[in-house]
Amino acid sequence: MPESRRHEAIADELRRAIFDGRYPVGATLPSETELAASHGASRGTVRQAVSALLAEGLIGSRQGARRVVLSTTPSQSFTELRSFAQWARSGGRAAGGLVLASAWSAAHADEAGLLQVRHGAPVLRVLRLRTLDGEPVLLERTVYAEWIGPAVEALPDDCESVTRRLHDDTGLVFVHGEHHIDAVAAGTADAAHLRLRRGSPLLRVRRTTATADGRPIETSDDRYRPGSVVFSVRNSTRTNPLVRTHA
């Protein structure tokens, strides 16, 4: 399926060339003028295309020199990152899910801030265990805002892809996210559900997701069994999304 936006078509073509090995790491890309001529587009459109690859960390750019290939590893769409099931499928693995607990209660101060609701507002708390090829790898403690809670409650307990179902049922789209990553020792509940010893290292990701207009949907404390998952970021002086903060 050909991409209708010309800058996306050019970006796709360059990505394919990089992933196929036609431009290995260290190789230089054609100049903007050459790309514009070969695609019958203006220089502005070509620049829009290469700036996408720049943001993905695939290429580096310096004034005066041709662009250089830095990496040949594809990056993921936001949806693949957001959805456990879609991420698992893209890796050829089977994702499972099971709701262990689900209940309405009052938002704590920190949750109220993250979800932009008033302190004590009703929120839906869900404890969910996620499996990969039958093995438990992730324990999710998710807090949903009041307006989306009923749709979440209507889902089956063993729903494989919550993201997918919520999109199909309500048209909801997850657009923005913020992730905070650190390490914690497994508590009693973590150890029991993930089948490891108390005190074992866990990778913790606290995340908050919002709609296109910035309305918060959910905030979650996700704990991964060590060895099952790695988070990666590519960055540079020009585009730096990763931040290190004091705990």
Residue 70 lies near a copy of itself (rule: CB under 8 A): yes
State the DSSP H helix or E strand holding residue 192, giving kind and residue range, or none if neither. helix 188-194
Shortest spacing between CB 48 and DNA, in angstroms: 6
Which residue's CB is nearer to DNA, number 32 or number 190?
Answer: 32
Report the alpha-carbon distance of residue 223 to residue 193 in Å, rounded: 11
Contact 38, 73 (CB under 8 A): no
Shortest spacing between CB 144 and a copy of itself, in angstroms: 19
Shortest spacing between CB 44 and DNA, in angstroms: 3
Residue 30 lies near a copy of itself (rule: CB under 8 A): no
State the DSSP H helix or E strand holding residue 100, giving kind and residue range, or none if neither. strand 95-106
Enumerate residues 61-80 that contact DNA by CB under 7 A.
61-67
Which residue's CB is nearer to DNA, number 47 or number 234?
Answer: 47
Q: Which residues pair with 57 in a beta bridge?
A: none
Query: Which residue in the set 43, 116, 170, 192 belongs to the binding site for a copy of itself (CB under 8 A)?
Result: 116
Residue 34 lies near DNA (rule: CB under 7 A): yes
Find how far residue 214's CA is from the centre of its chain.
16
How many CB atoms are closer than 10 A to CB 146? Answer: 14
110 binds, among a copy of itself, DNA, none (CB under 5 to 8 A by kind): none
Shortest spacing between CB 73 and DNA, in angstroms: 22
Task: Give the total of residues touching a copy of itself (CB under 8 A).
Answer: 69
Shortest spacing between CB 19 and DNA, in angstroms: 20
136 binds, among DNA, a copy of itself, none (CB under 5 to 8 A by kind): none
Shortest spacing between CB 69 and DNA, in angstroms: 12
Phi-psi region of 171 (alpha: psi -120 to 50; beta: other; left: phi over 0): left
Residue 5 lies near DNA (rule: CB under 7 A): yes
Shortest spacing between CB 154 and a copy of itself, in angstroms: 25
33 binds, among DNA, a copy of itself, none (CB under 5 to 8 A by kind): DNA
Q: What is the three-class DSSP state of 38?
A: helix
Enumerate residues 146-205 that contact a copy of itself by CB under 8 A.
173-185, 199-204
DSSP for 42-95? -HHHHHHHHHHHHHTTSEEEETTEEEEE---PPPPPHHHHH-HHHHHHHTT--E
Which residue in this structure is represented by tokens 């295309």?
A: 49
Report the alpha-carbon distance of residue 215 to residue 206 in Å, rounded: 18
Angle (nearest 5°) at CA 220 between 219 and 226: 155
Contact 61, 15 (CB under 8 A): no
Chain contacts with DNA (rule: CB under 7 A): 5-8, 29, 31-34, 40-45, 47-48, 61-67, 213
